[in-house]
Amino acid sequence: MLGLCLPGGGAKGAFQAGVVYGLYEMGVNFDIISGTSIGAINSYFIYKGCIEKLKQVWTNIDEERYKNCVCTNNILENDMLIDILKKLEGENSYIKSVYINYIKVIDKDIKEVVVDITKVKDKLDIIKYSSSIPYRTQNGILMKDIIENFDFKKVSEEFKEDIKNGVYDGYSLDGGLINNTLLSPFIKNKVKKLIIIPLRNNYQVPDYLLQSYNLEEIVVISPQRNLEPRDTLRFENEFCIDLFNEGYKLSKDIIIKEDKNEGIKI
């Protein structure tokens, strides 16, 4: 079996899409997927078997709609992508499970929730939770104004303060706030090869994963450039196309082989 882990990273998710599209061209199919935040959104395209649509979306970003959307309720708006997911049809028959994580805020405390969306009806609700980034929107603020003044460290500090003050009680939010690389499903469900596509160039495989896998069973495909936290909000067409192409090119360096019993594998 082949596993795929898609961490979060906002607009940097274009890199993941490029890798996935390149592997798709080579006939690679995944059995188990995990996704967080933008990784959850990308995983849904794969689950629905809509890889061509995945490419189309990431190489044709609607910058104006994104920058002019109004964010309210103390979260960053993600309806632009969720609306696209609602229109996807089909299903990838190879996929056995798609695990998505998000956090639930109860009584000023946060708890991670992990759901296999292949087993539930409210799939898109789970995806939306996982990609809902907290932000002090006051009475409403345009995304373009958020982008201009975005300070990831400040946002993180404000979120911790707002949790203590009960601002987010009852909310379901971005899983990446506490666990941006969802690996637990692959410990419970051992795969022959695990592909991790982090959205930073200094990712290190955690020791706890190496208790279940050896390094030969893990493939890490990460951007070669140094991406910044503020790039999370850079849903700009040129930026996303560039990242998509980088991921696509790197995917072609992956060696694949064909197993007569299991088809194309890495």
Options 130, 174, 231, 251, the catalytic residue: 174
Q: Rounded to an integer, what distance in angstroms lies between the CA atom of residue 149 and that of residue 188?
A: 41
Let me know: does 193 contact 217? Beta carbons within 8 Å: yes
Q: Rounded to an integer, what distance in angstroms lies between the CA atom of residue 229 and that of residue 133?
A: 13
- E strands within the chain? 2-6, 32-35, 70-71, 97-106, 109-116, 141-142, 172-174, 193-196, 218-220, 257-259, 263-265
Options 34, 37, 43, 130, the catalytic residue: 37
> How far from 218 is each of 32, 35, 186, 207, CA to CA, in Å?
14, 17, 11, 13
Q: Give the DSSP per-residue string, 12-25.
A: GHHHHHHHHHHHHH
37 catalytic? Reply is: yes
- φ, ψ of residue 98 to 5 degrees: the values are -130, 110
Give me the helix-helix angle, 38-47 and 13-25, nearest 10°: 20
- E strands within 7-144? 32-35, 70-71, 97-106, 109-116, 141-142
107 catalytic? Reply is: no
Q: Rounded to an integer, what distance in angstroms lies between the CA atom of residue 56 and that of residue 244?
A: 11
Query: Tokens 């964010």 appear where?
Result: 71
Query: In angstroms, what is the C-alpha Rg of the chain?
Result: 18
- Look up residue 215 and give its DSSP letter: G
Q: Which residues are the active-site residues? A: 37, 174
